[in-house]
Amino acid sequence: MATYVARNGIGENQRRVEDVRFLTGHGKYIDDVNIENQAYAMVLRSPEAHADIKSIDVSEAAALDGVLLIVTGDDWKSTGYDPIPTKSAVRTFIDGSDMKVPPHHALAIDRVRYVGQPVALVVAETQDICRDAMELIEVDYESLPSVTHQSEAIKEGAPQIWDIAPGNVCLDFELGDEEVQKKAFADADHVITLNMVNNRVTATPMEPRGAVADFDPETGKFTLWNSSQNIHANRDTIADVVLKIGKENLHHIAPDVGGGFGGKNGVYPEPILILHAAKELKRAVKWINDRSESFLSDTHGRDQVSKVQIALDNDGTFRGLRTESVGNLGAFCGTVGSFTPTGGSSRTQGGPFKFDGIYYTAIAPFTNTCPLDPYRGAGRPEGSYHIDRIIDYAAAQLGMDPIELRRKNLIPPEALPMKSPMGLDIDCGNFPEVFEETIRISDREGYAKRVEASEAKGMKRGFGVCMYLECTGGGPKEEAKVTFLDNGKVELSVGTASTGMGHETVHAQLLAGHLGLAMEDIVFRQSDTDATEIGGGHGGSRGLEVGGSAVTQTSRQIIEVGKKIAAHRFDVDADKVEFEDGRFHVPGTNHTMTIRDAIDSQNDPDNLPDDLEPGCMNISSVFERGIISIPNGGHACEVEVDPETGTIKVDGYWVVDDFGTIVNEMLASGQVMGGIAQGLGQALMEDIYYDESGQLVTGSLMDYALPRADDMPRMVIAYYEDAPTEKNLLGVKGAGEAGCVGAPPAIVNAVCDALKEYGVHHIDMPLTPEKVWKAIRDAKATG
C-alpha cells in the first residue's frame, strides 16, 4: 500500500462529513420535502404487458371526495406535450439508417407495452384517497401477444411492439475490424466459443424515486424537487423538450438522494406528470414511488445475451476476440437506452489484453418489459464479463492455467500509450504489475491448506481472478463555484451529484486543502440548477475526475486573484507572491497575508488593484476533461461451494485498483466495497424475472434477492498509484463503478474453478444454489 503525503487535500483520509446527518436521521430526502397545502399524486400502472386500451372510465374515481385531478393518456395527448427523448450516443444502424425511436409519452396513449407503464395520474388530498380512487378507475384492456426476452423478440413471427421497428429492432451496431478478426481466427490454433447471459438486475436504491412539484402562477415558474442524479440535463429535457416551458422557468433541485446507481439518471414520466398537475391545480404536488412500484418502473440494467469467441494459439497467445450481443431495451428507448448494449459494451472488449483483432456486434431489440438504462458500469461490466469468462472457459477447455494465460497476454507498460482495437486511448498504467500485485496479496501460500480444510467438511474450494479494464468520465464538463459569505463560511457549489458516495466530503477536502481553509467552514451545495449554471450530475464515475478537477481549477484561480490582492497590499508585482499552506507571502521579505485576510479584503475597492472588482475571489469555473480515463485493476476471489446443496460462500476477496491518484482512500474503498456487493449480488442472486405473459415475478424484496452483510466476504483492497493520468487535473481515473465491473467474472471464475473436477466449466448468472446443484448433478450424469 502506498504511503500518502497529503497535498492540497489529496491523500487525506478525511472522514465523511455528511454521515452524522445521514446516520442520525437528519438527512433531507425527497419525502422530507413538504410544501404547505401540497396535494399527493399516485400513478395507475398497467397490469398488462401488451394491450390496447379500449376505454378508461374515471367518473367514479373523479367523484370521490378529495380527488383533485385525474389525467389519462387521452388528456395527455390533448396537452400537446412531446415525448421523452433518448440521448443514446449511437443513433444509426450499421447501414447508416436512423435508429428507431418510438414516442415515449409520460402516459400510455391508446396502448400499453409493459407491466407498470403509467396509465393515469391521480391527484388527491391524501395518498390514501389516491389509492381509493385508483381502485375505482376502470380500464378496459384488450390483451395483445407479448414478448419479454430479447432473443425471442428478434425471431420471425414474434409479437411486434412498434410499427416503426420491424422485427422489434431498435438499433444494430458493430465496432472493430471484422476482416482482421477473421484472419486472426483463421490463423489461430484454437477458437473457443461460449454463450453467456448477463442477467437483468435493478438498482434497488435504499430510497425509492419520488418528487415534489410546485408552480407559481404569478411568475409562471416551476420548482421540482426530485430524487434524481442528473438535475441540469433533466431540467433541460423536461422543460425545453417535453413540456416546452423553457428551462429558465424550471428550478430543479435534488435534496439528499439515498442511492442511485444509474437508476436515477434518466428522465422519468412521473416528475413530468406532477409538474403538469401542479400547474393545473396551482398547488404543490408530491409523488413517492413505493418499493413494489420501484421494481416495476425503475429502469433495469444489464440483460444481455452474448456469444463470445476467443482465438488463441497452442502456446496460449491470444489472437482474436469476437462478441455478438443481443441487449434488451424494454418497451422504449431509455434516456441513454440503446447505447448501453451497443457502444457502451463495445469499448472495453478484450480488456487489458493484446489481440490482433477484436470485433463486436450488437442488436438492441424492444420487448414488453420496463425500459433499461444505465446501471453502475453500463456496458463495462458486460465487456469485462465477456473477456474474463471466455479466458477461464478457454483455459478449462484447453487444459491451460487461467492465471498464466492472463500473465502471458497482458498489454505491457512499454506498449502504452496506445489505441486499443476498440479505439480506446489507453494512456498509462501497468497491467502486469497490477495483476501480479493482485495475486501477491491474495494469500496463495495459504490456499492449499484452505482447500484441505474445505475438503474435510465436504466442500469444494475455488479461486478465480479477473483483470478488468474500465473507461470513465461521464459528462465531460463540470462547474465549481466558490462564494465567500459574510459570516465566514465558504459556499462550494459543484454540478456533480452525490447519491451518498461522499462528494460533500471530498470536494470540500480539495477546496480546504488547496486554500488552507477549515473543513467545517465549507458549506456544500449540489444538484440545484440555481447553484451552478451547468452540472453533469452523477454517472460514469465522474465525480472526482471532472467535478474534483473543477474544484481544483477554481481553487487555483482563487489563489491567483489572492496573489494580486496580496501584491497590491505589499506593493510588489503579483508574480513575486507565492502561496503555501493558506498564506500569501513574498519570498525574501516578511510580507505575509493569510487567505482569510485576502477574503476579508476582497469586498473593499481600496484593498484591490484596479483590475479587480469587489467580490473578485468569488469564482466559478468550468473544467472540461479530455478523453475518457482508463481505470483498471485485478480482482481475486475464493469461494467455498457445498456440492450437496449448491450453496456458494464467497470466502475471500482481494482487489488491486489503478484509479490513478487516490484522493481519499476511505471513500475510494467504500466505492469498491459497494461495487463488489452489487457485483456479488448480480453473480449469485439478483435476477429480474418476467414470466411468459410479461408479468414481473420478482416484483418485491420477497422475491428479488439482494446480498446482505453476511453474504459479503472480508475484502482486502489496495491501490496502484504510480500511473496518474494526465487527462484531468487530479490524475484520478474514476472509482465508482469498478467494483461491479470486476466482481461478477471473478466470482463466477472462482465457482467454476471449484467445480472443475465435476467437469462444470460454466453456469449462467445468477449462480443460485439450485443452478449449481443441477450443474453438478447433470455433469455427474453425463460422466
Partner 1 sequence: MYDFGIKNPTSIDDVKAALGDAEDGQFLAGGQTLIPVLKQRLAMPSDLISLSRVDGLSGITAGGDSISIKAMTRHAEVAANADIKSAIPALAKLAGGIGDPHVRNRGTIGGSVANNDPAADYPAAVLGLGATVITNEREIDADNFFTGMFDTALNEGELITEISFPIPEAVGYIKFPNPATRYALVGVMVAKFGNTVRVAVTGAGPCVFRVPEMEQALTASFSPDSIKDGLVPADDLNNDIHASREYRAHLIGVLARRAVAEANG
Residues at the site binding partner 1, with contacts judged by CB under 8 A: 128, 131, 292, 644-645, 647, 684-685, 689, 697-698, 701-706, 768-770, 773-774
Is 770 exposed, middle or buried, given 0-12, 13-18 or 19+ CB atoms closer than 10 A? exposed
Sign of the CA dihedral running 658, 664, 665, 668: negative
Q: Which triple of cell numbers denotes residue 462? A: 475455488
For partner 1, the closer of residues 134 and 561 by Cβ is 134
The letter for the amino acid at 638 is: E
DSSP label of 3: P
For partner 1, the closer of residues 134 and 718 by Cβ is 134
**Minimum CB–partner distance for residue 137 and partner 1 (Å):** 15
Angle 721-727-729 (CA atoms, 0-180°, nearest 5)?
75
Exposure string of 164-198, with b = 16+ CB inside 10 Å and e = fewer, is: ebeebbbbbbebbeeebbebbbeebebbbebebbb
For partner 1, the closer of residues 60 and 128 by Cβ is 128
**Minimum CB–partner distance for residue 624 and partner 1 (Å):** 45
**Minimum CB–partner distance for residue 697 and partner 1 (Å):** 5
Farthest CA pair distance, the chain: 91
496 backbone dihedrals φ, ψ, rounded to 5° = -75, 170
**Minimum CB–partner distance for residue 646 and partner 1 (Å):** 8
For partner 1, the closer of residues 97 and 126 by Cβ is 126
**Minimum CB–partner distance for residue 761 and partner 1 (Å):** 22
- Residues contacting 657, CB < 8 A, separation 6+: 434, 631, 632, 633, 668, 672, 717, 718, 719, 720, 735, 738
For partner 1, the closer of residues 259 and 699 by Cβ is 699
Distance CA 313, CA 186 (A): 11
**Minimum CB–partner distance for residue 645 and partner 1 (Å):** 6
Whole-angstrom Cα Rg for the chain: 28
For partner 1, the closer of residues 126 and 314 by Cβ is 126
**Minimum CB–partner distance for residue 382 and partner 1 (Å):** 23
For partner 1, the closer of residues 256 and 303 by Cβ is 303
Angle 266-272-274 (CA atoms, 0-180°, nearest 5)?
130
**Minimum CB–partner distance for residue 709 and partner 1 (Å):** 11
For partner 1, the closer of residues 22 and 689 by Cβ is 689
Cis-peptide into 766, omega within 30 deg: yes
Which position has the grid cell 481549477? 553
For partner 1, the closer of residues 670 and 699 by Cβ is 699
Chain-centre distance of CA 463, in angstroms?
28
Q: Do 638 and 716 contact (CB within 8 A), yes or no?
A: no
**Minimum CB–partner distance for residue 777 and partner 1 (Å):** 8
CB atoms within 10 A of CB 760: 21
**Minimum CB–partner distance for residue 705 and partner 1 (Å):** 4
- Residues contacting 106, CB < 8 A, separation 6+: 76, 81, 84, 118, 242, 269, 270, 272, 273
Which position has the grid cell 447471459? 197
**Minimum CB–partner distance for residue 685 and partner 1 (Å):** 5
For partner 1, the closer of residues 624 and 691 by Cβ is 691
For partner 1, the closer of residues 336 and 776 by Cβ is 776
